[in-house]
Amino acid sequence: MTTEDRIRHWLFQDALPVWGDRGVDRKNGGFVEYFALDGSDGGADYKRTRVTCRQIYVFSHAALMGWEDGEALARHGIEHLTGKAWMDDAGCFARRTTREGEILDPTPDLYDLAFALFALGWAYRATGDADLVRWAHRSLDAIERHLRHPVEGYWHDAGKQGWRQQNPHMHLLEAALSVYEATRDERFADLAREVAGLFTRRFFDLGTGTLAEFFTDEWQRAPAPDGRLIEPGHQLEWAWILTNHDRLLGGDTAAQTRALIDFAERHGVDPQTGRTFNAVRDDGAPIDLGSRSWPNTERMKAAVALWDRDGTDPRPVIDACANWLFSKYFDPAPRGMWIDAFDADGQAVVDKIPTSTLYHVVLAFAEALRVLPDAGKTMA
């Protein structure tokens, strides 16, 4: 079986049917937060908004790829998101609700609100429901009202404590591009340009090829050790998002994209196994040589980004990532699920199967399926 066939079978015959059935909370609305390692409901007594939004994306994208149950499941998620997680008094989505849908944590959170935008953009593409565009504007209004920093960028949450973070901004850029691609609304193009500018001015150092995670209030890298932490998965994820930014808005982040991938490939990937490490230092020294599933999916997307930019054959990386994911994470798990994390010695370090991972896998696999046929013809 080819990598393309293996991905397509797992996605449409295993994962989507399982998560579209047992992963849906038909009683309370929304989706199951996680499963136990045997594939049974993990019994979580809460629902995170980011997980609801990620699943809306999953089923919206699946619908656009021809999976017939996708649109109804995306609408189910939207109903829960707008009906249970939205707080009229604050004009914002809550961070989490109880399993039944009561507000549990009302904190405005940039990561969650970014994923709301991302989900709404994809759901609009899948359904054509114009009300979702209005919800996207409400979500961006909430971000501006609660989280806009007075000088530059956004707070990561309304508590405004701790280091400033690049990661929520990365997903905000991804989300703005999602809504812009669906609607061509310039408000979201302007947001995307702003965040991409923050990346080039503040988050990324082209000289070393490193993307920091944590910053001071003035966007200086945080003191060591926090400021020296580099996540290869985020380097690879930014590379793919910036490539979409340039495609949609005519930007030029080719040098940054190549530098992101080069550092991650040199210092963040095990040459023996092909696994992508969780964390290294800004000089490449190891910090956490374990590997969650998602950095490996981001490596796959980064290979797609280089194909889109330069015509670099993505198949060696896609094959390596797929082989590693299937052999280590998917095949030993219940059907359509995964063992999410391993330590540096290759031992599983999990007690649940998190729903949130599916967003990473579906997006990476969809991108692989998009490019593999053409890559195979061109490179043959």
Q: pLDDT, tens digit, for every residue of 124-181? A: 999 999 999 999 999 999 999 999 999 899 999 999 999 999 999 999 999 999 999 9
The encoded tokens of residue 338 equal 């995964």
Give the pLDDT band (50/70/90) at residue 376. confident
First to last CA, the chain: 18
260 neighbors 211 (Cβ within 8 angstroms):
yes
Q: pLDDT, tens digit, for every residue of 32-65? A: 999 999 999 999 999 999 999 999 999 999 999 9
Give the pLDDT band (50/70/90) at residue 380. low
Q: What is the structure's pLDDT at 136?
A: 98
The encoded tokens of residue 264 equal 């991650």
Average pLDDT score over residue span 351-371: 98
Angle between helices 110-127 and 70-80 (to 10 degrees): 140
Q: What is the DSSP string of 168-197?
A: HHHHHHHHHHHHHHHH--HHHHHHHHHHHH
Cα separation, 120 vs 215, whole angstroms: 29
Is the pLDDT reported for residue 122 higher than 90?
yes
- Bridge partners (DSSP) listed for residue 53: none
Enter the DSSP assignment of 37: T
Angle between helices 357-379 and 49-64 (to 10 degrees): 30
Is the pLDDT reported for residue 379 higher than 60?
no
Q: What is the mean pLDDT of the chain?
A: 97
Percent of the chain clearing pLDDT 70 (strictly above): 99
Look at the domain 3-379 and name its fold: Glycosyltransferase (1.50.10)
Q: pLDDT, tens digit, for every residue of 289-337? A: 999 999 999 999 999 999 999 999 999 999 999 999 999 999 999 999 9
97 SS3 class: strand
List Cβ neighbours of 314 (8 Å cut-off, separation of 6 or more): 303, 304, 306, 307, 368, 371, 372, 375
Q: What angle do CA 265, 266, 267 make, to 5 degrees?
A: 100
Q: What is the structure's pLDDT at 378?
A: 66
Give the start-to-end residue ranges of the domains of the chain.
3-379
Cα separation, 87 vs 91, whole angstroms: 6
